[in-house]
A and B are shown apart, each in its own frame.
Chain A
Amino acid sequence: MLLEFEKPIADLESKLQEMKDLAKGRNINLTPDIQSLEDKIQTLKKETFQNLTRWQRVQLSRHADRPYSLDYIYEITNDFIELHGDRTVKDDKAMIGGLGDIDGRTVMFIGQQKGRNTKQRQERNFGMANPEGYRKALRLMKIAEKFGKPIVTLIDTPGAFPGLEAEERGQGEAIARNLKEMFMLKVPVICIIIGEGASGGALGIAIGDKVYMLENTWYSVISPESCSSILWRSWDYKEQAAEALKLTAPDMKNNGLIDGIIAEPLGGAHKDMQTMAKTIKATIIEALKELDKIKHEKRIDQRIEKFCAMGVVEE
């Protein structure tokens, strides 16, 4: 599956492949041509990806080939044991978590999980957690705190699930409780938006000492489509809404609402998952090194102060 702006690049890439096959099959020397086409592709890629509109980044964040939480976790860890259930209602498969190691150090991973095909997407509820998902996440955070393990959350959700049972079981209360409890966690908490960061459903696992966004992700109070439908009373203004919401990683960094941006491989995270996972891993290690130096009381104070400084008012 290709996005509109990926197509010209893919066309050239398939031409390049043809050329390479031809050279190999007929044993002709096409090296200069191949070289020039490769340069051309590289230039086009750079041009395209350095000038992405906000809406195009939203599209990339939802790319069908984009790596999901478990993809990264299995790539980053040597050992990983997935843990299930909120101990009250059920196991929410839109929210995953477990203990894993990063170069020998144990970390509690928690994240929303999307599905790759129709069956998986249904099973994972499109990455939209129910209250039991947020409660499962909190249960795992408390285990991490108890055993002194740092927490890494991976955020990728189009929102908390707006369903009937979700309301009956207190979606609002589940998210609210996580917000409050996460401020008081004694262990370091690192949050990374790896895809979509939609509103309260994202924030419900995104209170951390360090909050990062991958380069081609979005994080805001509402999706551009819903914003368009509410403020413009039409679904057709999603591009304008994306611009107005300033929901990209550079926007959020400029506004002081996140701590950093994690660079993606040229063409997006899905073009080179291994490299992406390596960069994420390096970022986590670096952040932990810094956070380990701070006493937990001070870390909690700093976490609270950081979020309390967010907002612009006139008086």
Chain B
Amino acid sequence: MAWFKRTDKGIKTSTEEKKDTPDGLWFKTPQGNIIHTRELKNNSYVCPDDDFHVKIGSKEYFEILFDGNKFKELDTEMKSGDPLNFVDTKPYKGRIAATIQKTELNDAVRTAVGKMNDLDLVVACMDFNFIGGSMGSVVGEKIARAIDYSLKNKIPFLMISKSGGARMMEAGFSLMQMAKTSAKLALLEKAAIPYISLLTDPTTGGVTASYAMLGDFNIAEPEALIGFAGPRVIRETIGKDLPKGFQSSEFVLEHGFLDFIIDRRQLKNRLTTLLNLLRN
């Protein structure tokens, strides 16, 4: 005898029409701890049981950092062009349009100015949901203009990186965004305006090899993947398995490329203390 009996005959719901379970009232961490999403939100998206830092985007970081979630967003309308008419398995233009619709973001970075514990701060925050947080012309240009804003108004700059690296579909243009952002940071350095670079999971490729590593203070969230080459490429190059913890925040701190690792729940207050120490 069958275990289940189908009572309704002829159910032919196509995959697209199938309903997802309502988007998470509960969140399960990799260690298996389960937490209510409201509680997660109140806890800076960190699981209180195992300190797991959930991957979040600009919306959540702005909410965590800016007083009363009040800020002025810069260059909200900027979108990618398609300078190379790039087509791989899909045209780049279509990919961009679909991603904008899906994520309700215009590209992989949002920039804003606001108050953090009453201190002025310019923040550029990457969104990994947008084509893997890849850096194309929009990412480069928005960061460049955010730094210009910092320069003009003498306001410290915080960069929150979360990216797989350069955006291949903009090829040479994408590469030059590394140069552009580094040029602006050179000007910021000359003007002695503080630049804090927060590296989150993951920060790799051209982003690591430009603005993410150029902070006066390089800090990272716990257990983030941080590196230049991706682990798969390195494994294939050296033909060996990689040691445990390789390219984690803790590994990068140990090797001298980070100032400290910061629990997201303390982020706002530690940044405030740091900026105050510089001011006083």
Query: What residues of chain A have their CB less than 8 Å away from a CB belonging to chain B?
Result: 160-164, 166-173, 175-177, 179-181, 183-184, 199-200, 203-204, 207, 219-222, 227, 230-232, 237, 240-241, 244-247, 251-252, 255, 257, 303-304, 307-308, 310-315
Contact = CB atoms under 8 A, between A and B. Distances in A.
A244 B87 contact: yes
Given A179-B182, A179-B210, A315 B77 contact: yes
24 contacts: A160-B209, A160-B229, A162-B234, A166-B228, A166-B229, A171-B209, A175-B228, A199-B175, A200-B175, A203-B179, A207-B179, A219-B172, A221-B172, A221-B175, A232-B88, A232-B89, A245-B84, A245-B171, A246-B171, A246-B172, A257-B176, A308-B180, A310-B179, A314-B78
Contact of B84 (A203, A237, A246, A307): A246
A248 B183 CA distance: 25
B223 to A, nearest CB: 16
Interface of B: 75, 77-84, 86-89, 136-138, 140-141, 144, 166-168, 170-180, 182-187, 189-190, 205-206, 208-214, 227-230, 233-234, 237-238, 240, 242, 246-247, 255-257
Contacts of A173: 208, 213, 257
Given A160-B228, A180-B185, A313 B176 contact: no
B176 A310 contact: yes
A314 to B, nearest CB: 5
A175 B168 CA distance: 19
A314 B89 contact: no
* 6 nearest A-B residue pairs (beta carbon): A162-B229, A172-B208, A311-B137, A179-B182, A312-B81, A172-B228
A163 B235 CA distance: 8
A130 to B, nearest CB: 11
B228 A162 contact: yes
Specify the main secondary structure of chain A where it touches its partner: helix
A170 B256 contact: yes
B137 A312 contact: yes
Contact of A176 (B180, B208, B229, B247): B208
A247 B173 CA distance: 11
B187 to A, nearest CB: 7
A207 B256 CA distance: 26
A308 B172 contact: no
Contacts of B189: 180
Nearest to A206: B179
B214 A180 contact: yes
